[in-house]
Structure 1
Amino acid sequence: MTNQTAIRFGYPQTLLREYEHWLVLLREPQATLGSLVLCAKCDATEFSAIPIEAHAEMGGVVRDIEHALKAAFDYDRINYLMLMMVDPNVHFHVIPRYAEPRSACGLTVADPGWPALPKLAEA
């Protein structure tokens, strides 16, 4: 099952990994290098309304995300933002944070909001 929020964030083209209850999507545009969207597969619009099994699975999903991003980009901090204003289904913006610019795929990217809030509008 997918919902409108996942589709809005480019599913299935942006899919990096699928779990039983969660989708890990590449966030476009990138707020910082390695930005992702962690999207519940159900149609819930409140965090408390996702299935208990999704809550149980979430810890392992977050662990996988953090290990992969740490290995790939060596982030300094990581932010999980649950906003759900424009895109109502349960999802988190996963924003790795960097004190210094990071390089990958021939690009060097700075974190314009460091050390304060991420500047999503500048992505």
Structure 2
Amino acid sequence: MNATIHRFGYPATLIAEHDHWVVLLRPDQPTLGSLVLAAKSDVTAFSALPPAAFAELASVIAEIEAALGHAVDYARINYLMLMMVDPHVHFHVLPRYDGTRTAGDLVIADAGWPKAPALGDAVTLDPAQTTALVAWLKSCWR
């Protein structure tokens, strides 16, 4: 796994793994169920990924959208490819909704709705919350 994947808490945050991609729980949650979709490759340009990674991306996105739809009943979903601090190819996947969503003892509002996501208003998870949310989201996966 590349440094970007480790920076987002791998392996503790791992929800799903594929040949070319991993799905991780985002340690800072601007909306409940926020994820990181990261390429396992060491490349730092989206265009440099192998064709097989692009082919696999369609099924990974379908899994993400189905699981997050079940988990948080999002109204929209944002895929942000920021790659400023963490250089390897990855997306921040943010389910968007009006109001709040709850999982266990966490209640998280989408502070930016209906405009751009409010990344600065994210809830930073502690280790117990991370473990609980990873288990919860895994249970929503097909």
Three-state SS of the structure 2 residue aligned to 1:121 is helix
The alpha-carbon deviation at position 103 of structure 1 amounts to 1.5
Q: What residue ranges of structure 1 are gaps of 5+ in the alignment?
A: none
After superposition, residues 93-104 of structure 1 pair within 5 angstroms as 93-104=92-103
* Moved >6 Å (runs of 4+): none
**Alignment gaps of 5+ in structure 2:** 123-142
Given residue 41 of structure 2, which amino acid in structure 1 is its aligned partner? C
Please list the CA deviations of residues 61-119 of structure 1 after superposition, one character each: whole Å capped at 9, or x if unmatched. Answer: 00000000001110110000001000000000000001121121132221000011111
Which residue in the other structure is 1:41 paired with? 40
TM-score, normalised to structure 2, is 0.84
Give the CA RMSD over aligned residues.
0.7
Q: How does 1:59-78 map to 2 (within 5 A)?
A: 59-78=58-77
2:118 alignment counterpart: 119
- Which has the larger share of helix? 2
**C-alpha distance in 2, partners of 1:12/1:107?**
22
> In 1, Cα distance between the equivalents of 2:105 and 2:45?
39
